[in-house]
């Protein structure tokens, strides 16, 4: 499995490619940052991010793209820029038919370090250890992108099993005969015994009273 992790941002958009499967040593294929000048127009910055991500997709041909899920922050301007860069990354992947997965920061931290409250230094140290690197990737956005890719590789098998279970449950539910749950399938009123003849009249058998 080859995954492109994207840590979205307008000024620095971290990107990192990791290859491997859960339970085995992982390999870093590439890591870097797509930068845009802070004084450029917003549209031009988004185009630059798109071009940068497209270049990474062309060069490394990942099978999946993992993007950090945007969450609320006190700085509205920052979260808006992050959301816009995130949308560009998802657009680039969707245009090529590459599956996109969103992972929250706490989810990534817990997967890589074991703690959902880990700081940037801890993430960088664990990424360095897991990928057997000589030093933590710089800047921190690059390390975060690799952490996203690692998180997806490790969690993808469980997510796939969950999706398969949900799909199987929906299929089995659709195949059942529609009706009111618990109601007996009778030609009479619900709950009423099936009888022949006129209600209240004794049934007869070969002309004798039963």
Is residue 134 part of the annotated active site? The answer reads no
Q: What is the pLDDT of residue 108?
A: 96
DSSP 86-137: HHHHHHHHHHTT--EEEE-HHHHHHHHHS-TT--HHHHHHHHHHHTT-SS--
Nearest to 103 by CA among 73, 76, 64: 64
177: which DSSP letter? P
pLDDT value for 176: 63
| 39 part of the active site | no
Give exposure, 181-194, as e/b (b: 16+ Cβ within 10 Å).
eeeeeeeeeeeeee
Q: What is the pLDDT of residue 75?
A: 74
In 3D space, the residue among 53, 17, 16, 56 whose CA is nearest the CA of residue 36 turns out to be 53
Which residues on neighbouring strands pair with residue 16, listed in sequence order?
5, 31
Active-site choice (54, 68, 107, 144): 68
| Of 50, 107, 119, 141, catalytic | 141
Residue 10 has phi, psi (to 5 degrees) of: -75, -45
* H or E stretch covering 141: helix 140-175
Choice among 7, 19, 44, 58 that is catalytic: 7
* pLDDT for the residue 109: 96
- Predicted pLDDT at 161: 59
Write down the pLDDT at residue 104: 95
Q: What is the pLDDT of residue 175?
A: 64
Q: What is the pLDDT of residue 210?
A: 39
Per the annotation, the verdict on 141 as an active-site residue is: yes
- Of 83, 56, 74, nearest to 142 by C-alpha is 56
Pairwise CA distance, residues 99 & 64, whole Å: 5
Q: Is the CB of residue 7 less than 8 Å from the CB of residue 137? A: no
User: Mean pLDDT, consecutive 10-residue segments, the chain of 210 residues?
Assistant: 97 97 96 97 98 98 96 77 96 98 96 95 97 96 98 80 66 64 45 46 43
């Amino acid at each position: 499995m080859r995954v492109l992790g994207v840590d979205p941002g307008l000024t620095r958009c971290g990107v990192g490619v990791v290859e491997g499967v859960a339970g085995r040593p992982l390999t870093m294929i590439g890591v870097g940052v797509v930068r845009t000048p802070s004084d450029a127009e917003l549209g031009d910055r988004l185009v630059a991010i798109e071009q940068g991500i497209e270049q990474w997709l062309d060069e490394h041909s990942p099978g999946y793209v993992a993007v950090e899920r945007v969450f609320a922050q006190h700085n509205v301007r920052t979260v808006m820029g992050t959301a816009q860069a995130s949308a560009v990354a998802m657009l680039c992947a969707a245009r090529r038919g590459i599956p996109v997965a969103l992972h929250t920061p706490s989810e990534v931290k817990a997967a890589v370090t074991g703690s959902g409250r880990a700081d940037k230094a801890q993430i960088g140290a664990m990424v360095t250890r897991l990928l057997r690197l000589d030093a933590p990737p710089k800047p921190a956005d690059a390390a975060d992108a690799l952490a996203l890719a690692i998180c997806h590789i490790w969690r993808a098998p469980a997510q796939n099993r969950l999706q398969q279970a949900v799909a199987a449950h929906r299929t089995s539910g659709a195949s059942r005969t529609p009706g009111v749950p618990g109601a007996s399938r009778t030609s009479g009123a619900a709950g009423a015994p099936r009888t022949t003849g006129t209600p209240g009249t004794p049934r007869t058998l070969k002309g004798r009273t039963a």
